[in-house]
Amino acid sequence: MLDDGIKPSSIVRYLDQYVIGQDDAKKILSVAVYAHYRKIAKARAEQTELAKSNVLLIGPSGTGKTLLCETLSRVLKVPFVTADATSLAQTRYVSDEIEAILQRLLDKGGGDVERAQRGIVFIDEIDKLKARPGEPRAVSGESVQHALLKIMEGAPVKVGNAQFVDTTNILFICGGAFVGIEDIMAQTHGYGFIATSDDDDNQKILDRLNSRVKPTDLFEFGLIPEFTGRLPVIARFQELSRDMLVRIMTEPRNCIYNQFREIFRNEGVELTVERRVFQQISDLAIEYKTGARSLRGLFEELITPILYAVPDDPGVKKVEIDSLFTEPRYVRA
Ligand SMILES: Nc1ncnc2c1ncn2[C@@H]1O[C@H](COP(=O)(O)OP(=O)(O)OP(=O)(O)O)[C@@H](O)[C@H]1O
Ligand SMILES: [Mg+2]
């Protein structure tokens, strides 16, 4: 199931080609999936039960949670689907919705039940399922948590008319922004008083311990204890810095810059965009507070007028953009 030679470190190296930063999350997730698929193989060989470690990803919107899971499923060559917890919470027929998710997983696996049963299901916006005091249980996020924890644990789910998908070996990854979790974490005691020296390494270890989200924090946030208990592995995603946003636009193989250079190349034109432009776009994106999500829109806004003009002028061989605030330079042969 895991290709020979696949190790947590090789998974991380693959992820690095597509996902910028988030090094901690990459490591945690790679180790988790590696262990997961090793356990499946071992459990199958020895006919033993599998103790599953589903994963919780916590981090702001647009920082790469979905992208990381998608990329992960590609390197593992397993079927992958995403679902949205909010839509689960809005339906009266949660079990139908869950069935539909597994149906999609089955479709992704080419109708092969065996393959689907080794897939990954990513459930986003899990933080929207928090229990609100006074809400009738049947319609609350809490009842969805109960429904989910049953399938996360492992259960046969009827899909279509005659087929069953067993969720025992399916890896569930839940994601959410968990706005306000920092405040909850700050209220509970941190490890601080042990630090007597101003030793740098010491401080790093303490920072690490203190930045860990504890099950009790999630409980306080509004997830039920049984649910948090099914998510023993927690990885946090960091807010993207300006430098990371620049790298997102310019480094990955399929990054925005490369995509548009290719479009211009097909017109016989060489496009060069100065680093400063990407920094200016990143500054705007940071103001929009949507992580990397607004980068494409901003870049397209800049490029569209040029793409409009270039085909009318076959003499243009080169377009150079130095700044968001100056006109692009058209170079003719
Ligand atoms: N760390 C990253 N590296 C490369 N690209 C990124 C990164 N983070 C975000 N992106 C870009 O932004 C888009 C949105 O990211 P993604 O869907 O992964 O966000 P998310 O964390 O799942 O957000 P949400 O919580 O809103 O679902 C991606 O398709 C990708 O183009
Ligand atoms: Mg997402």
Q: Does the Cβ of 61 fall within 6 Å of ligand 1?
A: yes
Ligand 2 centroid to 105 CA: how many Å? 17
3-state secondary structure of 223: coil
> Residue 70 CA: which ligand is closest?
1
Query: Does residue 63 have its Cβ closer than 6 Å to ligand 1?
Result: yes
Q: Atom 26 in ligand 1: which residue has the minimum CA distance?
A: 61
Distance of CA 69 from the midpoint of ligand 2 (Å): 9
Strand ranges inside 85-219, DSSP E: 120-124, 156-159, 163-166, 171-176
- How far is residue 53 from each of residues 4, 33, 104, 119, 314, measured CA to CA in Å? 22, 9, 23, 14, 58
pLDDT tens column, 196-205: 556 677 777 7
Q: What pLDDT, on a 0 to 100 scale, did the predictor assign at position 318?
A: 95
pLDDT single digits (tens) 167-194: 999 999 999 999 999 888 888 756 665 5
Q: Is the CB of 145 under 6 A from ligand 1?
A: no
- The pLDDT tens digits of the residues spanning 60-94 come to 999 999 999 999 999 999 999 999 998 888 877 88
The stretch 133-154 carries a mean pLDDT of: 79
**233-236 and 80-84 strand pairing:** unpaired
Q: Which of 124-138, 268-282, 298-312 has the lowest mean pLDDT?
A: 124-138
Q: How many whole angstroms from 174 Cα to the centroid of ligand 2?
A: 10
Taking Cα atoms as reference points, which of 156, 167, 144 lies closest to residue 94?
144
Other Cβ atoms less than 10 A from the Cβ of 256: the count is 21
Query: Six-digit token pair at 240?
Result: 């993207």
